[in-house]
Amino acid sequence: MNTAPRLYAYAYAGTPFPAEDDGELFDLAQHLIRRPKDTMFVKVSGSSMVEKGINDGDILIVDRKAEPRPDNVVVALTEDGYTVKTYEREHGHLKLVPASPNHAPIEITENTRICGVATFAIHRLA
């Protein structure tokens, strides 16, 4: 038995579109997760990424096998613990850069481990 919720209509952010009566099955995981065995969920704590739309309490969907590229949001293990930052190359050096001017970038060292690339952020609207 499929327990996926039904998607009854697409909601357009422009002109309203007539709703259809018969909804299709909608598997949220199929749309959000490319590699289920290599995916982890991370709950965000802190405000260093708010300007990227990632808020305190959000849940990140993280692909552990994705190769990080500049401008990707990554989860990393540093000498000080786990962090969520933007992966950047600056003047030949790799850095973890916050999306808030209130926090400093972190230089990536041989002790830094990139745990994965965040592919989606889930947050409550109300």
- Active site amino acids: 48, 85
CA-to-CA distance for 50 and 108, rounded, in angstroms? 21
**Cβ count near 74 (within 10 Å):** 21
Q: What is the largest CA-CA distance in the chain?
A: 57
For 43, the token pair is: 């709950």
**Cβ count near 115 (within 10 Å):** 17
